[in-house]
Amino acid sequence: MKPADYLQQLSEHLSVSDLSRRFGDFIALDRVSLNVAKGEFVCLLGPSGCGKTTLLRLIAGLDMPDGGSISLRKEDITHAPPAKRDYGIVFQSYALFPNLNVQDNIAYGLTPRRDKARHQQRVRELLDMVGLPGAERKYPSQLSGGQQQRVALARALATSPGLLLLDEPLSALDARVRDKLREELKGLQKRLGVTTLMVTHDQEEALAIADRVVVMNAGRIEQVGTPAEIYRRPASRFVAEFVGEANWLQAEVTGSNTVCVGSHALRLEQAAPASGRAALFLRPEDIIVKPRWENAPNTVLARVADVSFGGAMTRLRLQPEGMPGVSLLAEVCPSMLNRQPVVPGEVVPVELPADRLLAYPEGAAC
């Protein structure tokens, strides 16, 4: 074993390698490998059926893999029963025991089972921690969705597990409660330093809460990175389309880092794909509407087809001249528009910044 490998393994808390799971002909998980460091908050993000829940259930021991291995604190737990692993779990449905009150729900896994006084002490601590003090005697049916979620979280954390698994924990909540709980969950996780793996299909949630995001598709990992990396530098066309909004332009590759869209030549900062055709990617907020025309690279004239007010951002639909059939979505700050009002029908100069344009091979898996 090389020293470098050894050092890297020290920081690994949860390690998944080459994990596969098939259901009949359907490949739910295709040789997936992933390392999670101690204290890290990792989100598994992807559309339904991408394998993220399967991966979580395999780690939880609720399902057994067809191949590969899982280790927690360098101990192989691939085939260990759930009770032999060290984790707490929160489900989308919360799965609170309806006939037990909050106290008994949270103390359910505490040992030794008879030590009531210690349990009470611990439950009080946990309820304070999740912001629900004094709720011991209530039953789940007497709590709101958000409160039930806090109890479920307290129950999962009661035994101080080394790993916290969250299966779409916020999906069943109202938008307002969801945002509030999201913040609290992140704060709590940082305070406790518990390694956390959360499954979600909500990209906004994943980007907001995670230290690292794992984007999955069709049983494979598409990209692992920080939220900024995922958003700014999507590793594949799938990630680019799944995370955030984007403009897509069909382009002809003309040089090592130049492409042609319609009659316009555009420069890229990264290398263009080798093939003849490429799909150009540009975030709406990266399009710059310029005050006046100047002959600069990547700058084109565009007709404003539509302007819609969107609160913090104003959305423009632009039809660049010389790019027939192309329609660009741009988001601009109203503060900028204050100086330069834009009205439908107007022709404005816009820049498609070279450092924000990414090119993907045409027809790549998406």
Partner 1 sequence: MLTQALKNRLPGRQVAHTRADAEGRVATLLVWGLITLLALALGLPLLFIFGKAVMNMDGHWVGLANVAEVLDSPGLMRAARNSLTLSLTVTGLVVPLAFAFAWGLTRSRVWGRELFRQIALSPLLAPSLMPAISLVYLFGNQGLLKSWLAGGNVYGFWGMVLGELFYTFPHALLIIITALSASDARLYEAGRVLGAGALRRFFTITLPGVRYGLVSAGLVVFTLVITDFGVPKVVGGDVNVLAVEAFKQVVGQQNFPRGAVVGLMLLLPAVLSFFVERRMARRQQAALTARAVPFAPARSFGRDLAVLAMLLLISALLLLLLGVGVGASFIKYWPYDLSFTLSHYQFDNVDGGGWSAYFNSLKMSAAAALCGTMLVFVGAYSCEKLKVAPVGRALLRFFAMLPMAVPGLVLGLGYVFFFNHPANPLNFLYGSLTLMTVCTIAHFYTTAHLTAATALKQLDGEFEAVAASLKVPFWITMRRVTLPVCLPALLDVARFLFVSAMTTLSALIFIMSPENSLAAVSIITMDDAGDTAAAAAMATLIVLTSGGVSLLVLGLEKLLGRQSQRWRAPR
* Cβ closest to partner 1, residue 98 vs residue 311: 98
Closest to 330 (Cα-Cα) out of 358, 300, 306, 357:
306
In whole angstroms, the minimum distance from the beta carbon of 6 to partner 1 comes to 19
Tokens matching residue 334: 């109203």
In whole angstroms, the minimum distance from the beta carbon of 151 to partner 1 comes to 12
In whole angstroms, the minimum distance from the beta carbon of 27 to partner 1 comes to 19
Instruction: Mention every residue, 6+ apart, whose C-beta is less than 8 A from residue 72.
Output: 13, 14, 15, 85, 86, 87, 162, 163
* Cβ closest to partner 1, residue 113 vs residue 290: 113
In whole angstroms, the minimum distance from the beta carbon of 81 to partner 1 comes to 5
Closest to 365 (Cα-Cα) out of 260, 267, 219, 263:
219
* Cβ closest to partner 1, residue 102 vs residue 259: 102
Q: Which residue has the tokens 């991966």?
A: 55
3-state secondary structure the chain: CCHHHHHHHHHEEEEEEEEEEEECCEEEEEEEEEEEECCCEEEEECCCCCCHHHHHHHHHCCCCCCEEEEEECCEECCCCCHHHCCCEEECCCCCCCCCCCHHHHHHHHCCCCCCHHHHHHHHHHHHHHCCCCCCCCCCHHHCCHHHHHHHHHHHHHCCCCCEEEEECCCCCCCHHHHHHHHHHHHHHHHHHCCEEEEEECCHHHHHHHCCEEEEEECCEEEEEECHHHHHHCCCCHHHHHHCCCCEEEEEEECCCCEEEECCEEEECCCCCCCCCEEEEEECHHHCEECCCCCCCCCEEEEEEEEEEEECCEEEEEEEECCCCCCCEEEEECHHHHHHCCCCCCCEEEEECCCCCCEEEECCCCC
Q: Which residues bind partner 1 (CB under 8 A)?
A: 60-62, 64, 69, 78-85, 87-89, 91, 93, 95, 97-101, 108-109, 111, 139-144, 155-156, 158-159, 161, 165
In whole angstroms, the minimum distance from the beta carbon of 103 to partner 1 comes to 13
Please tell me the number of Cα atoms within 13 Å of 296 on its side-chain side: 12
* Cβ closest to partner 1, residue 51 vs residue 140: 140
In whole angstroms, the minimum distance from the beta carbon of 333 to partner 1 comes to 43
* Cβ closest to partner 1, residue 97 vs residue 293: 97
* Cβ closest to partner 1, residue 101 vs residue 149: 101
In whole angstroms, the minimum distance from the beta carbon of 116 to partner 1 comes to 15
Peptide bond into 334 cis (omega under 30): no
In whole angstroms, the minimum distance from the beta carbon of 253 to partner 1 comes to 46
* Cβ closest to partner 1, residue 78 vs residue 258: 78
* Cβ closest to partner 1, residue 83 vs residue 296: 83
In whole angstroms, the minimum distance from the beta carbon of 82 to partner 1 comes to 4
In whole angstroms, the minimum distance from the beta carbon of 70 to partner 1 comes to 10
* Cβ closest to partner 1, residue 109 vs residue 244: 109
* Cβ closest to partner 1, residue 102 vs residue 348: 102
